[in-house]
Structure 1
Amino acid sequence: MGLFDDVSRFLESRLEEFLRNNPHLELEALLEQLREQEEDTLKLIADLQVQEKRSQEEILTTAQEIQRWHIRVQKAQNANREDLAVKAQAREAELLRQGNQQWGQMQGVKERISQAKELLGKIQQRRQEVQAKATEAQTARTQAQTQQRVETNAWRNKNPTNYDELEAQFSRWETEAELEQMKRNMGK
């Protein structure tokens, strides 16, 4: 299960790295990566389930062969054909070993299916977490853009008036200054 733990740690570290850097773009990339991993894991599970079914069929076939050779052993022993009975017992023992190997392989496949399903659950959970973060980041970005537009519009609406008032004040002051200058020039 080390591989699955490594993948889980990798996903966690990637999420943290993505969140630190450019969150809105990186979260989308991580979501895509998680979707691909989810698809790959689903394909792996399907392949393993096919292998499990095949193993079950092989075990059943081997069990039927074991049963057939067991009957042959008994027939040969009942007929006092020890030469055939010994060979049939050897064949039966070989089939039993083969069946045990097949059983072990099937158990290994079942374990891999279990691990893959566990990994799939972790990937899906992580994808939901990242999706929530992406939605949160999108909402925050939308709110920030809306706030910026509101502030920009308020500034545009507010500042022309301020500039008009400021312009008027400077015009009056400059006019008064020119009048004062004219009065002084005339008084000289």
Structure 2
Amino acid sequence: MTDTPFSKALAAIDAAHALDPNKITVNNTEAPYELHYAQKCTSYLDQRSPSASEPLRLAIRAQHFRRWEVPRSSYPMTRVGYHAWRTFLKKRQASLVEAICLEAGYPQEAAERVGALIRKEDLKEDEETQVLEDVACLVFLDDQFEAFEKEHDEEKIIKILQKTWGKMTERGHELALQIPMGERPLELVKKALAG
């Protein structure tokens, strides 16, 4: 691989992901959770939009950049606290990754585009931002939903699933319906889509 701005930025993003102290075991191999998450995002991007631009590829790889450094518990455990946490994270992640892009040799405009995508600006109008949203929803359904649904009551889960589904495009829906799921998560998805 040549030493391009893209390869340098990607390597720097993944090096930071590898520092995540939270671990996950997949196929008997332990990995830093954020690195696993980022790789999963890239694999869904390859299915959702194989010809994605470099800024979109970098934004998708970095959308949870260093998230473990600002735990959810650092904000009030309320709906308002959750939204404040998410807003802060998007701005922080975008700023950190923009700096990586500039250091890797991208022009200011390209670095700012990566940041705008991470902040999910113009979600319904910007096709690339919508692709990023699809990927985030797909990874949630594939990688986090099964554990998540065990922590909440059915009514809340169904509302979250309906909200998630509403954020996605038709192509996102097609890919979501191909995700292998356990019996209980699948039952909840069917209930949510029927509602």
> Which bracket does the TM-score occupy, shorter chain normalised?
under 0.3
| Between structures 1 and 2, the one with greater strand share | 2
TM-score (norm 2): 0.23
Relative contact order, higher structure (CA 8 A, sep 6+): 1
> TM-score, normalising length from structure 1?
0.23
Higher helix share: 1
Larger Rg: 1
